[in-house]
Amino acid sequence: MFKHVTSIPCPSCGTTRSVLSILQGNLLEAFYWNPFGFLLLAVLIIIPIWLVIDAINKKDSLLKFYGFIEKKIQQKLVAIPAIALVLINWYWNIHKGL
């Protein structure tokens, strides 16, 4: 939607194609589409498994981990490099004409 409105690809453009390339074994192609695809695929695999394990054990470790990560991301030492990575990825998406 962002690209349709602005004609500029968003930082996440190509992520779905990246995941599909990973699933087909094309890791370099996946990296070209969008490196965030590797992170997305890991999350798509880990989170459902973690939810099931928490449900079986009647625990909320995923929720606690989420709270921990949320606090970490708010720290400048983590937030600034994370924002920089997103901006670099965005520039790369624009540069390669995605």
Query: Which uninterrupted H or E stretch holds 78?
Result: helix 76-95
- Asked whether 93 and 9 are in contact (CB, 8 A), the reply is yes
Which SS3 state, helix, strand or coil, does residue 13 take? Answer: coil
pLDDT recorded at residue 6? 82
pTM of the full predicted structure? 0.80
Q: Quote the CA–CA distance of 8 and 13 in Å, as a whole number.
A: 10
* 1 has pLDDT over 80: no
* 74 has pLDDT over 90: yes
Confidence at 78, pLDDT banded by 50, 70, 90: very high
Average of pLDDT values for 69-85? 95
Q: Quote the CA–CA distance of 78 and 25 in Å, as a whole number.
A: 31
pLDDT per residue over 20-58, tens digit each? 999 999 999 999 999 999 999 999 999 999 999 999 999
Q: How crowded is residue 17: how many other Cβ atoms within 10 Å of its Cβ?
A: 16
